[in-house]
Amino acid sequence: MGHICTTPQTGRALDYAWSAREKWLRLAEQAGFEISRADTVVVARTAAELGVLEEFAAERGTGEVRLLDRAGTARLFPPAGDPGSDILGGAHLALDLRVDPRAAIPALAARPASRGVEFVWNTQVGAVSEGAVHTARGDLAATAIVHAAGHDIDRLFPVIAEEHGVRRCRLQMMEVAPPGDIRIEPAILTGYSMLRYGGLGATASAAVVRREITDRAPETLDAVMNLMLTSAPTVRWSSATPITTPAPICPSTKKTSRIWCCAKAPGSSRPVSCRCGGGGAGSTRIRRRPISSWPRPQPVSASSR
Ligand SMILES: Cc1cc2nc3c(=O)[nH]c(=O)nc-3n(C[C@H](O)[C@H](O)[C@H](O)COP(=O)(O)OP(=O)(O)OC[C@H]3O[C@@H](n4cnc5c(N)ncnc54)[C@H](O)[C@@H]3O)c2cc1C
């Protein structure tokens, strides 16, 4: 989603996040891609969720976290002002950033490529050994090898992944046309995010939020759900589940659903329309677009060595 979610982190993750924030700002300038200071708004729909935000704001100070009443939340996230909205208020995290990954990643590669760095795209690495990377195009000799295969560490270095208990999870994103001509500049986090990000989750009120969600929709906790959106300008919803979790059940139709699009939208007491077919009575119909395809960086060199 391109959300550089710095402020809600905590501990060592927060140190890394501040450092990453500076790097993104510098890289955007050097590589010439846009970086938006579009911030984050965390919306609160219950007194306990407001409590989380109040505790978090008291700890971090107004430079990082500014509390918003309902009208203030609606200025940044217009659906909060709808008559049917159950949003009570929110918090504005002014230091969070956003990039468009589809623009940023090719720009990041283009800069070193223009200075003679050779990229070998679309090439599977089968193994890494001392001084050599064994690829589907042949072996590459190297004096230094940086391994950055992300979660695929469990394929490339299964023993290391097992030693550290690496567990895959599934994060799904859905891109939809925004309802009406609404524009949402900041990233929007919800009560679920309060349980996910360390800074929010460490507050005393977070335990109450967890109990509320347990009463309301326990299956979403089993799924380790986070529900958030960014707008660019289409709305991108995302939610996460561990990959071992059974397919989620749509709360409207009680059928299994491939995606949690039937969760309630922030600012609405009703579910958004649901991919599993039902949509539920009174659901908010949002016209769906397929998630746009990502431009592939062009190979600088695809020759084998
Ligand atoms: C839908 C979605 C939305 C997200 N939104 C956000 C967000 O808004 N903000 C945020 O901070 N994070 C977000 N994330 C998480 C973020 O994408 C990851 O944390 C991040 O990409 C991890 O970076 P990485 O470089 O470690 O690994 P990756 O980005 O996974 O990169 C690893 C690369 O290595 C390649 N690779 C792996 N194994 C091999 C092999 N054997 N041979 C050759 N190549 C190999 C992979 O193809 C991949 O290109 C999102 C994730 C998803 C799925």
**Separation between Cα atoms, residue 110 and residue 97, nearest integer Å:** 22
Identify whether 290 is preceded by a cis peptide bond (ω within 30 of 0): no
d(Cα 262, Cα 156) in Å, to the nearest integer?
36
pLDDT of residue 88: 97
Query: Measured from the CB, is residue 3 less than 6 Å from ligand 1?
Result: yes
Q: What is the topology classification, in CATH, of domain 3-101+168-242?
A: D-Amino Acid Oxidase; Chain A, domain 2 (3.30.9)
What residues does each domain of the chain span? 3-101+168-242
**Range from 121-130, 147-156, 211-220, 287-296 carrying the lowest mean pLDDT:** 287-296
Q: Answer whether 2 contacts ligand 1 (Cβ < 6 A).
A: yes
Is the model more confident about 254 or about 36?
A: 36
Rounded CA Rg of the chain: 21
Closest CA to 85 of 269, 276, 244: 269
Mean residue pLDDT of the chain comes to 81
Lowest-pLDDT choice from 27-31, 83-87, 287-291:
287-291
pLDDT at position 280, please? 29
**Span 82-104, average pLDDT:** 94
- Provide the pLDDT confidence category of residue 182 given band limits of 50, 70 and 90: confident
CA of 148 to the centre of ligand 1 (A): 9
DSSP one-letter string for 24-86: HHHHHHHHT--EE---EEEEE-SHHHHHHHHHHHHHH-TTTEEEEEHHHHHHHSGGGGSTT--
**Cα–Cα distance, 77 to 91 (Å, whole number):** 11
Q: Which of 152, 170, 174, 292 to mutate to test the pocket of ligand 1 (most atoms within 8 A of CB)?
A: 152
Output the pLDDT for position 254: 53
Contact assessment for residue 243 and residue 216, using Cβ atoms and an 8 Å cutoff: no
Distance between CA atoms of 139 and 127, rounded to whole angstroms? 10
Task: Kindly indicate the confidence band of residue 178, based on its pLDDT and cuts at 50, 70 and 90.
Answer: confident
Q: How confident is the model at residue 49 (pLDDT cuts 50, 70, 90)?
A: very high
Show Cβ contacts of residue 75 under 8 Å, excluding neighbours closer than 6 positions.
none
**Average pLDDT of the residues in 170-188:** 82
- Reported as a single tens digit per residue, the pLDDT across 125-144 is 999 999 999 999 999 999 99
CA gap 174, 238 in Å, rounded: 6
Could you tell me the pLDDT band of residue 241, with boundaries at 50, 70 and 90?
Answer: low
Considering only CA atoms, which residue is closest to atom 52 of ligand 1?
171
- Please choose, from the candidates 63, 36, 11, the residue with its C-alpha nearest in 3D space to the C-alpha of residue 185: 36
State residue 262's pLDDT score: 35
At CA 200, angle to CA 1 and CA 9, rounded to 5?
55
Tokens 């989603």 label which residue? 1
Question: Residue 290 above 90 pLDDT?
Answer: no
Residue 5 CA, ligand 1 centroid: distance in Å: 15
Residue 167 binned pLDDT confidence (cut-offs 50, 70, 90): confident
Residue 237, pLDDT score: 66
Query: Which atom of ligand 1 lies closest to the CA of 150?
Result: 27
Interior CA angle at 291 toward 252 and 6, to 5°?
90
Q: From the CA of 125, give the closest atom in ligand 1.
A: 42
